[in-house]
Amino acid sequence: MTTTEVCVRRFTLVSSRPFEEIVRTLTSSIGKPEMTAFRRALVAAESFAELEAVVRGAVGSSDLMEFVRFDAGEVLRKGGHERGPEMLRLVVGNPLMMRAMAETAPEAAAYAPVTILIDGRADGVHLSYDSMESLIASSASPAAIRVAQDLDAKIEALLESAAGDSAG
């Protein structure tokens, strides 16, 4: 067995905007396909061109799509903590970007799609993302790094837009 340490760069913004406004702004440009139909269409694609068309139809204007969301706050609010934290984990990405990275950096498939965490704290709403470039940097090709940098830029722009002028 081989063990490799990975140094992760986390991008975090803190906003004074309301949690729900941040979620609404953040997700407004992310595609939200019906996942069962999306998977069926991916499997049915008989060529790369057909695969591209399926993905292009699923992503939003950000070139990203939502795969799943986890409302961790809901779990934390159970058991007498009705006013518990607002905490949402969004799993987003673009299968074409994952493919482009995984062709030369197979470990990229372990990290894509990526997680965005939105959580309300006393000092504001935190928006966090672990950089794909940092996750694959130790073993990726220059081509995979360029795709990872593009993905990181897209996610960071989304977070900055959602955080608004109050970002810190």
Q: What are the structure tokens assigned to 117, written together?
A: 């965490």
The sign of the torsion formed by the CA atoms of 28, 155, 124, 120 equals positive
Tens-place pLDDT, residues 10-44: 999 999 999 999 999 999 999 999 999 999 999 99
pLDDT for 166: 55
Give the per-residue pLDDT at 74: 82
Contact 159, 131 (CB under 8 A): no
The pLDDT value recorded for residue 81 is: 63
On the question of pLDDT at 2 being above 90, the answer is: no
Tell me how crowded residue 149 is: count the other CB atoms within 10 A of its CB: 13
The Cα 156–Cα 67 span in angstroms is 18
Give the per-residue pLDDT at 73: 82
Residues 6+ apart with CB under 8 A from 82: none
What topology does CATH give the domain 10-30+63-166?
TATA-Binding Protein (3.30.310)
pLDDT at 15: 96
- Domain spans in the chain, listed from the N-terminal domain onward: 10-30+63-166
Which residue would you say has higher pLDDT here, 140 or 122?
122
Query: How far apart, in whole angstroms, are the C-alpha atoms of residue 40 and residue 17?
Result: 38
**pLDDT tens by residue, 55-91:** 999 999 999 999 999 998 887 777 666 666 789 999 9
Taking the model in full, what pTM does it have? Answer: 0.90
pLDDT recorded at residue 85:
79
Give me the pLDDT at residue 62, please: 95
Q: Is 68 helix (H, G, I), strand (E, B) or coil?
A: strand
Instruction: Judge whether residue 138 has pLDDT over 90.
Output: no
Given CA atoms 108, 88, 8, 167 in this order, what sign does their dihedral have?
A: positive
